[in-house]
Chain A
Amino acid sequence: MAAAGLSIFSAAGVAAFQFGFSVDDIEGEGWRADGIAISLNETAVDHYAVAITVANLVLPDSHGTLEGLRLECPDVSRDGSGWLCEHGRVQIQASPIQAQEATWQGNYSDDGRLQITIPRLAVAQGTVALELNANDGVWSAQLRPHRTKIARLAALSGQLVLPTDWGIEGRASGLVKLGGGPAGLESVDADLVFDQLAYASPDGTQAAEKVVIKTELRGRVRKALWRFDATLAWPSGAAYAEPLFIDASDGPVTLSLSGSWSPQQARLQLDGGSLELSGTAAVSATGLFQGPGLAPKDLTIAMHSDDAGRLYGRLLQPFLIGTPADDMQVAGHVGLVLHFDAQGMDQAGLEIKDLALEDRQGRFVLDHTDGSIGWDRSEEVPVSRLAIAGASIYRIPTGAFDIRVRFAADRVDLVGPVVVPVLGGSIALDRFALSGALMAGARPKWQASASLRDVSLEELTRTLEWPPFNGSLSAQLRELNYVEGLFSVGGGLEFSAFGGRIEVSGLSIQDPLGTVPVLKADAIMRGLELEALTQTFAFGRIEGRLDADMRGIQLVGWQPDRFDLHLYTPQNDDSRHRISQRAVENLTELGSGVPAGLSATVLSVFDEFRYDRIDLRILLQGSVADLDGLARPDGGYYLVKGSGLPRIDVIGRNRSVAWKDLVERLQQIQVEGAQIK
């Protein structure tokens, strides 16, 4: 401390004692005062008027400067064993917390106890009542803020840095009790209410409106270890922290935390933490955080929800926006336990009860599902089991099935085959391996092999509202792959239908759950029985066998976009070849756009005709289909080349037709009241 220009005067007259004292400036570590004057005037026996003025007081730790400080008490009186001031005044012309003019009371007892009360200080556009007590190094303080502006309080604290361009509003009121001793702060008790809380970041990703927060905090320090107990209730208002939106009117939010905090070791022990989102989820946590960034060293978080729909809507869906899972209806019960160590999450467990998902776009449904899933970062964990009451993909429903899988590191492996009843038959998933789905930044991909057994084509086509097929589908799907949005089937799909054999190869679907899935495949059909086929399509009866080659099939958005289809009578087919009058009419119309008009001719007396060969080629390229058949020297092409008598040939003359016209012609074909859809 340094002092310069000290002056003292005193006058001890007969009537009263007067004492004056001034100091030009005093400096200490981090603070400085100048223009100091102290006066003491005896007004009566044991009654004194005291005034202390300081022109400038520079506060430590960059807390600013008090200018024009005047602390006075017109009557400091002797009261038994101490001194008392009941009507003190304090004036500060300028300070970081604005100019002040306040009253104060104080007393000091001979045994060293000091008490000062300032009932009303103007702080942060509100008021703070202050009471200080000290006795032999032990002190306590009570602050009662009332409607103080949070942003200004934060600025005053010098510790809490709030964004300046968020327009932060809000007020703090309540009671804060601090206690300490020679070593410093030892206890904190705070009951505070923050109301009218609102802010908006310029980019709109962080915002709050009319939020009310009630907090209670108890903290005690012993041997440099703080033990704390805190609760926070959020009864009203709404906040958006991208991508989460929480509106307390949907159910209040409460948080409670208890544990210990060692500032010296930068060590936070959370003995009990709970977060309750009323009606949505309850979360509890215990753990240890240590290090400069308080990284979790050993943290367990458990979550439970009896309303998975609200859990999805309030907390999960916002993170899924832009994925196929961002528009679902969800119901059921979910429990989740996560464990983190210093390297991050190392264990996870999920319990599901009566969980049901339904994509609002109608792409997939998962019926009531029960089960438990365990995951471990490094060790193998017990088998996860899911029991699914039913599901559907693109309206194709399945029966109930069970899944047993093992989740470990970034892999998911099937423990046993999954047999899914579907359309009167089954799909058996023999092998399934998923990788990259559970680690941030990794690209998910999966491989599988499956077999289809006795899947009813009739049910499949009816479900998809296609022309009905008879027969059943059995196939070995060896190399099912999904990588970066492309689902592909290595190996082939073979099945029997219409008495013949159909082989599909090169099947792939790009973006299967996207707006416009693109399916590609090749198919060959051998020895189809035309009688069964034509009855199915209500086309008019044709007998004989038919082969077909369908190359470069491309469906875009499940609609035909490209293919090269060749339908033809197999060489050396010795089956009976007959075509009905109706079929001739329909084929003629298909090939030329006009009916043959047989019913108006003498040929109308014949129900059917013999034919030698059928040959039709349709090359679809976008919106245009090119038609062709057997070469005919006199122009046009044979769709049906007749034989015997009466001989009838169906000759096509259109070489190119708009695909939509061709589809319309097919749809117009009617036989005995049936219509092709």
Chain B
Amino acid sequence: MLNRIIGLPLMVLALTACVTINIYFPAAAAEEAARTIVRDVLKSEPQEQTPPAKPDDKQSYTPQGHPLAIAFGVMMEALVAPAQAAQADININTAAISAIRASMQKRQSRLAPFYRSGVVGFDNRGSVTIRDLNAAALGERNQVKKLVADENADRAKLYSEIARANGHPEWEAEVRGTFAKVWVQEALPGYWLQDASGGWRQR
């Protein structure tokens, strides 16, 4: 009896949560798409070693609570997650997105030294920000400004284009939010990252 009392609300909660995600924004698929693009861009820089992606909250979640509820949760996750991916795929294979990705890849090798020296960092809004212009030589500062302006123009186009290409221009903010998280997770060693409260740390 106790099992039912605990299990039923959880069952309802799990179903409701999954359905909500599918209707409004395919978060998992978007994150996967974002990770594909971000890794593709960042690998344009010759790198020593790409760190493994930081496990997301879901993966690091340690179940606690009643065994029946845990079993149900695990089962729902196993069933629902593939369904999400199948139902709500995110299309990133358009000519425009390819053009933007190519443009960002081309720029990455020039931006990378400034990411590493802390002149430019990944901010918490999915853009890049000049965080310490004094760390750049005087003659490089306008170059930094141009790279940052161009990169942010491309990123903004990328987010709006992904939303548009998937038939939901109103998803732009969610796409940006997803990318903001993934850029930070995938950043290479030495890069500077902004946390939610605006503070900076170096990977």
Contacts and interface: CB of A to CB of B under 8 A. Distances in A.
A622 B149 contact: no
Contacts of A558: 95
A62 interface: no
Nearest to B93: A623
> In which size bucket is the chain B interface?
20 to 34
A203 B135 CA distance: 10
Contacts of B161: 516, 556
B96 interface: yes
B43 interface: no
Given A245-B139, A556-B94, A559-B95, A326 B134 contact: no
Interface in A598-649: 622-623
Interface in B51-102: 91, 93-96, 99-100
Interface in A319-336: 321-322, 326-327
**Residue among B139, B142, B146 with the most chain A CB within 10 A?**
B142
A153 B47 CA distance: 50
Nearest to B132: A204
Given A243-B145, A245-B141, A515 B154 contact: yes
Contacts of A514: 153, 157
B27 interface: no
Contact of B133 (A204, A515, A518, A660): A204
Contact of B95 (A243, A321, A327, A557): A557
B165 interface: yes
Nearest to A624: B91
A645 B15 CA distance: 63
B103 interface: yes
B136 interface: yes
Given A203-B133, A515-B157, A318 B142 contact: yes
A239 interface: yes
Contacts of A239: 138
A166 to B, nearest CB: 11
Given A204-B133, A559-B96, A322 B141 contact: no
A488 B16 CA distance: 46
Interface string A295-318: 000000000000000000000011
B16 to A, nearest CB: 31
Contacts of A209: 138
Interface in B105-149: 130, 132-136, 138-139, 141-142, 145-146, 149
**Residue among A208, A317, A326 with the most chain B CB within 10 A?**
A326
Contacts of A560: 95
A247 interface: yes
B53 to A, nearest CB: 26
Nearest to A246: B138
Interface string A218-250: 000000000000000000001110110101000
A207 B103 contact: no
A623 B95 CA distance: 9
A207 B139 CA distance: 11
A389 interface: no
A340 to B, nearest CB: 27
A181 to B, nearest CB: 46
A518 B96 CA distance: 9
Contacts of B153: 322, 514-515
Contacts of A205: 133
Given A247-B139, A556-B94, A622-B94, A204 B149 contact: no
Given A558-B95, A559-B99, A560-B95, 10 more contacts: A200-B134, A204-B141, A207-B134, A243-B142, A247-B138, A318-B142, A322-B150, A515-B100, A516-B96, A623-B94
10 contacts: A202-B134, A204-B130, A204-B136, A209-B138, A238-B139, A321-B142, A326-B149, A515-B153, A557-B95, A557-B100
Q: Report the 4 A-B pairs with minimum CB-CB distance, sorted nearest first.
A: A204-B133, A559-B95, A556-B96, A322-B149
